[in-house]
Amino acid sequence: MRAFFIGLQFLTRISIVEQKDWCEKDFADSVRYFPLIGLVLGIIYAAFAALLLSFLPQNGILLPHHVVAAILLILPILLTGGLHCDGFMDTMDGLFSGRSRERMLEIMKDSRVGANGVFAFVLLMIFDWSILLDLLQSAWLFPALFAMPIVSRLMMVVAISSFPYARPVGMGKAFKDGGTKSVLYGAFFYTLILVFFPGVAACFFGIIPLDAAGLSSWVLSMTAVIFAALLFTIFFASYATRHLGGLTGDVYGAITTLTETLVLLSFLVFSSVSC
């Protein structure tokens, strides 16, 4: 479990077992656990939403929906230390610079954030906030918050395992070394269990209707979300590879961030269709 705790400590601010001595092999071994780390985050997100929308109102504290949406938007940034957001901004700075491949990689490595990155991040946060605001009035909010980090971390494994690394060295290179096909297939397999099992359990305990319609709705929605996320990841990773010669740690972060938005948007579409 050492690799899991190292991955958890690197990808989040959660430090259950403090690890100070890391090596590249530890990072490589942690890749297989990325969706499981997403499960930890998904449980926290859903539990926090239940606190804001159920527990607090029952105790006389009713927050406006736009405030709840803002809190749910900020929570993932706090729990991950803004790691993936930083990668997203660096990636936007590089890809939108219109420079040569080498210059793009230099821009992305710069610790300073440029105008393109800030502009893209602000727009993305506004978009995410508006989606969350609408999802607050839908039964799909909790499935969305639960599945969002799991699916997005699976897509990080897809990117790591399926596309070349753009630099000879770098933090992301250590993850790339652990992105074998067997790791990818294993991550896909247990991710399906992670996202499908709650629906089966919810049917069994009567949380959602114990019938074919209730269960099939859950299975179909989760399947559609994973499929949409996979298509987007392949498209975005291919685009980045064409311009950068491969992916970097920043691009992994960008894929995670954008996939989270896609998952939320997908569940918003489900909510509008079900209405």
Q: What is the C-alpha to C-alpha distance for residues 76 and 56, in angstroms, rounded to an integer? A: 20
Q: What is the C-alpha to C-alpha distance for residues 144 and 251, in angstroms, rounded to an integer? A: 23
Nearest to 250 by CA among 232, 229, 236, 230: 236
One-letter amino acid at 94 equals G
**Per-residue confidence (pLDDT) for residue 131, from 0 to 100:** 98
Q: How far is CA 96 from the centre of its chain?
A: 22
With tokens 């799909």, the residue in question is 140
Q: How many helices (H) and strands (E) does the chain have?
A: 13, 0
**Per-residue confidence (pLDDT) for residue 271, from 0 to 100:** 85
**Per-residue confidence (pLDDT) for residue 200, from 0 to 100:** 63
Q: What is the C-alpha to C-alpha distance for residues 194 and 142, in angstroms, rounded to an integer? A: 14
Q: What is the C-alpha to C-alpha distance for residues 21 and 9, in angstroms, rounded to an integer? A: 12
**Per-residue confidence (pLDDT) for residue 212, from 0 to 100:** 46
pLDDT digits (tens, 9 = 90+) for 161-170: 999 999 887 7
Give the global pTM: 0.93
**Per-residue confidence (pLDDT) for residue 185, from 0 to 100:** 96
Q: What separation, in Å, do the N-terminal and C-terminal C-alpha atoms of the chain show? A: 43
pLDDT digits (tens, 9 = 90+) for 162-195: 999 998 877 788 889 888 999 999 999 999 999 8
Q: What is the C-alpha to C-alpha distance for residues 155 and 228, in angstroms, rounded to an integer? A: 11
Quick one: average pLDDT of 97-110?
92
pLDDT digits (tens, 9 = 90+) for 71-93: 999 999 999 999 999 999 999 99
